[in-house]
Amino acid sequence: MTIRDLHVAYGKKPILRGASYDIHKGECLTLLGANGSGKSTSLNAICGFVRPGAGSVRLGDTELAGLAPHQIFAHGVAQVSQARDLFPDLSVEDNLRLGAMRRGSKTSTTTLAGIYDRFPRLAERRKQPTRTLSGGEQQMVAIGRALMSQPRLLLLDEPSGGLSPEFCEEIAQLMDGLKAEGVTMLMVEQNLKLAFRAADRFIVLRDGAVVDGGDVKAMEHDHDAIIKNIYL
């Protein structure tokens, strides 16, 4: 995916001011930045929840900027938002099945079995209403539902937000597995330990513009410098 000169405003307040970056196939790119720097807005602009005022969001040969969220989803972009956006009175399995509706396809039994292999706890709770699950288990459902669509690009907005250390480690292990499988991901994450563990590359946003970035492994001894660049 290529993002070029992306501008987004809420009313008269500009949030993104010409952000440009690439997301390479099979990598995890992490957006870093202080609160209000435009990280979540970037994800919402990519998936169509907010409409860019200017700029380009291209997935392959397809221009996504300006399309409705359901159209962007049909092109293979799935987001796991901070709110998770689950249907609380539906069962775990029904929530998961909703993720397979991209392009009007029916649920693949093989795909659903794969989600249960990845999240055995969800298999045990498959008939329970989602509202009865813990926060960590609900996050598993949200991620599992997104994976049911077999996305070309998976957007993750604070996947560890509000979770216990135990579930944070489970999310970290999940990210390890997704990377090994070659899932392309764009992630916003305040837990810098998880962000640096999961990401292949990072970019730093400040006041809606890209001000820094690089390869995580190449800068593994400079994380303090990266953190200073985020907050200073």
- Pairing status of strand 2-10 against strand 77-80: unpaired
Rounded to whole angstroms, what are the CA distances from 25 to 15, 38, 215?
A: 27, 23, 15
168: left (phi over 0), alpha (psi -120 to 50) or beta: alpha
Q: What's the confidence (pLDDT) of residue 174? A: 86
Integer Cα distance of 209 and 74 in angstroms: 28
Per-residue pLDDT at 82: 85
Contact 50, 8 (CB under 8 A): yes
First-to-last C-alpha distance (Å) of the chain: 29
pLDDT for 87 equals: 94
pLDDT at 30 over 90: yes
- Name the strand (E) or helix (H) holding 186: strand 185-188
Condensed to tens digits (0 to 9), the pLDDT of residues 88-145 reads: 999 999 999 998 876 555 556 668 999 999 899 999 999 999 999 998 899 999 999 9
* pLDDT tier at 186, thresholds 50, 70, 90: very high
Quote the CA–CA distance of 50 and 67 in Å, as a whole number: 10
Specify the pTM.
0.89
Average pLDDT over residues 154-165: 88
Q: Give the pLDDT of residue 223.
A: 65
Look up the CATH number of domain 2-76+152-231.
3.40.50.300
Whether the pLDDT of residue 228 is over 70: the answer is: no
Residues 6+ apart with CB under 8 A from 99: 78, 144, 145, 146, 147, 148, 149
Contacting residues for 35 by C-beta, under 8 A, at least 6 apart: none
- Mean pLDDT, rounded, of the chain: 89
Task: Give, for 153, the enclosing helix (H) or strand (E).
Answer: strand 153-157
CA 173: distance to chain centroid?
A: 16
The DSSP 8-state label assigned to residue 5 in this structure reads E
**Confidence grade of residue 3 (pLDDT, cut at 50, 70, 90):** very high
pLDDT given at position 221:
64
Mean pLDDT of 31-50: 94
Coil/strand/helix, residue 165? helix
Domain map (residue ranges) of the chain? 2-76+152-231
Taking Cα atoms as reference points, which of 101, 95, 106, 159 lies closest to residue 128? 95
- Is the distance from CB of 141 to CB of 115 less than 8 angstroms? no
Q: Is residue 42 a contact partner of residue 215, using CB atoms and an 8 Å limit?
A: no
- Using alpha carbons, select from 221, 218, 232, 212 the residue that is nearest to residue 30: 212
Tokens of 136: 């960590």
